[in-house]
Chain A
């Protein structure tokens, strides 16, 4: 419980500072749309092919977007060294990271909610019947993305070449999550749709393990 209150307060701060400008959201949204349009040139997106490749395109676009949009998460705090102020606060250091993971999860989910209808239209997929299981897969996959991405943005923000370093660090590590979420989504796009328990389970296990690792070792990332 000592973790919950500071986390919610900090989450409020993260959300407030983002929704004042909505910079991250709009750029992410436009970025994913651009990538989805560009992907349509790599193959002929008939409905059958969209069913087969659509999930991969969606997740790859989200992964690339995440690797760019998670960078400001910690970099933003460095401008006025506000991270030092947060560190001095009498709270568990993990709650700083937890609030950022949750905030990034929110941003990505909002972006996804805005993107899905367009994705469904331009790739001729009907997502309405599978909305429930799709939401579950999106939530689990996005949680993996925001957990690993937030931790690695704390790492990369303290190195040189930070903007480039974040994607390089997080993309290979997220390869299993990409495979699992792509395969789970592909199952949902099939006719009839199947929710693959093994892929969803793997994704959930990925989330649980990396949230635990973050909880155990995350505080070291905030040291100066």
Chain B
């Protein structure tokens, strides 16, 4: 028993030091990429004709939403994988991605009004995309909420996996129902019928790449944290079991 728990703790030594160095280098690289993307959004991309400088928020507003979607997709896939394999690692991945997706959608919900205020003259409007983002944000906040209310790890993993799957299937319905309900938002500018300046498009894709890199970085940290939490839970159960009178 003692050996089992000891081996779960990471070894300290030269191996870990190079790991930490690599990690620092990666973090630095992502920070650099983010800096370049920010610079490009501020100074390289052309100023939009009617909206002016404020339109530059678009490079991080829209790409945050896309990154959030990628995170929710990871939650969905990890939830299914957990139910199939029962490997807790998938559960850790699912919760990490959900939390990061909520963070990115929080960015969307904050940058949206900042953009809307000078352009539309109001902070918030119940238009299709704003409402959709709000509902999606709520869905995954509920997912995180459920996790805090179930103590037993395996039960928590199963219940939240099912919820994660239901939420993912709800996304297209939320999207289409609200879109049909009302549309006042600027139409999509990427893809068919888009009228985005090629320079704007490349800056936007650069920003997206930067945010995806941030997401991967956060995901790894958060996953590690979940793994450590799991280890602590295991140790606690072990010591509780040993503390019990025979």
- Chain A residues near B (Cβ < 8 Å): 148, 151-152, 155, 158-161, 165, 168-169, 172-173, 175-177, 179-180, 183, 198-199, 202, 205-206, 209-210, 213, 217-218, 220-221, 223
Contacts and interface: CB of A to CB of B under 8 A. Distances in A.
Interface of B: 83, 135, 138-139, 142, 145-146, 149-151, 155, 158-159, 161-163, 165-167, 169-170, 173-174, 176-178, 180-181
A220 B149 contact: no
Q: What 9 A-B pairs come out closest when comparing CB atoms?
A: A176-B173, A176-B177, A159-B149, A172-B138, A179-B177, A160-B149, A159-B150, A155-B159, A172-B139
Contact of B177 (A148, A161, A180, A209): A180
B162 A198 contact: no
A220 B163 contact: no
Contacts of B135: 172, 175
Contacts of A176: 170, 173-174, 176-178
Nearest to B141: A172
A70 to B, nearest CB: 15
B139 A161 contact: no
A220 B83 contact: yes
A35 B110 CA distance: 34
B167 A221 contact: no
A206 to B, nearest CB: 6
A179 B165 contact: no
Contact of B139 (A152, A158, A173, A217): A173
Nearest to A160: B149
Contacts of B149: 159-161, 165
B142 A172 contact: yes
Given A151-B162, A175-B135, A158 B155 contact: yes
A79 B184 CA distance: 51
Contacts of B146: 155, 159, 165, 169
B180 A198 contact: yes
B90 to A, nearest CB: 13
Nearest to B167: A173
A158 B161 CA distance: 14
Contact of B173 (A169, A202, A221): A202
Contacts of A172: 135, 138-139, 142
Contacts of B166: 148, 151-152, 173, 210, 213
A78 to B, nearest CB: 14
16 contacts: A148-B166, A151-B166, A155-B162, A155-B163, A158-B150, A159-B150, A165-B146, A168-B142, A169-B163, A172-B139, A173-B167, A176-B170, A183-B181, A202-B173, A210-B169, A220-B162
